[in-house]
Amino acid sequence: MRMPERRFAGAPVVGLLALLAGFGAAPAAEAQRGGQASPTAREFAVKAAQGGLAELRLAELAQARSTNPAVREFAARMIADHGAANAQLQQIARAKGIALPDQPDAAHQSLVHELESKQGAGFDMGYLETMRRDHDQAIRLFESATAATFADPELRGFAIKTLAVIRQHRELLEKLQVNPGSA
C-alpha cells in the first residue's frame, strides 16, 4: 500500500497553506489594531535613500544659491548628516542585496528644478519650506521602521539612530527664520 507516500505528498500542500495563511495574518492584525503597517525592508531602504539623496541635492543647491548665512550653515549640516546616513544605508543595503536608487525620485527632482528658478529670500523661503515638509515625511517614514513590527533588525537600528538626527534637523528648521524682504 502507498498510504505513507500519500501523507508525505500532502505535507507540502498543508505547509504551503499554513505559509499562505501566515502572510495575511500580520497585516490583518495590524489593520485590526488601526495601526499603519510597517514598510518592508526594501521599501524603507529605497524611500530613505531617495529622501537622503534629495536632501543632499537640495542642500548643495542651497549652498550655491542662498545668500543667508544661517541657511547656508543649515545646508552644510544637511550635507554632512545626510551624506553620512546615506553612506551607512548604502552599506547595509549592499550587504542585504537591496539595490538603492542613485538619484532622487521624480517629485524631488521637480522640487529641485522649481528651486533653481528662485533667488535670494524667495529661494531661502522655498528651500526651508521644502526642508520642513521633507523632514516631516522622513520622520513618519523612519518612525514606521522603528516599530516593533519592522522585521529587519539592522535597518531598524539604522532608523532609530537616524530618526534622532532627523528630529534635530526639524528642530533647527523651526528656529530658522528668513525675512521675505531680505535679498
Q: Which three cell numbers stand for residue 80?
A: 554632512
CATH number attached to the domain at 38-175: 1.20.1260.10
Domain boundary assignment for the chain: 1-37, 38-175
Q: How many residues does the chain have?
A: 183
- Residue 11 pLDDT level (bands cut at 50, 70, 90): very low
Share of the chain above pLDDT 90, in %: 64
Q: What is the mean pLDDT of residues 44-71?
A: 95
- Residue 139 pLDDT level (bands cut at 50, 70, 90): very high
Alpha-carbon separation of residue 103 from 42, 62, 139, 149 (angstroms): 16, 18, 20, 29
Write the DSSP assignment of the chain as a string of letters: --HHHHHHHHHHHHHHHHHHHHHHHHHHHHHHHTPPPPPPHHHHHHHHHHHHHHHHHHHHHHHHH---HHHHHHHHHHHHHHHHHHHHHHHHHHHHT----SS--HHHHHHHHHHHT--HHHHHHHHHHHHHHHHHHHHHHHHHHTSTT---HHHHHHHHHHHHHHHHHHHHHHH----TT--
Q: What is the pLDDT of residue 26?
A: 37
The answer to whether residue 25 scores a pLDDT higher than 90 is no
Q: What is the mean pLDDT of residues 120-145?
A: 94
Mean pLDDT lowest for which of 13-27, 46-60, 116-130? 13-27
Q: What is the pLDDT of residue 5?
A: 44
26 vs 174: CA distance, rounded Å: 37
Q: What is the mean pLDDT of the chain?
A: 81
- Residue 177 pLDDT level (bands cut at 50, 70, 90): confident
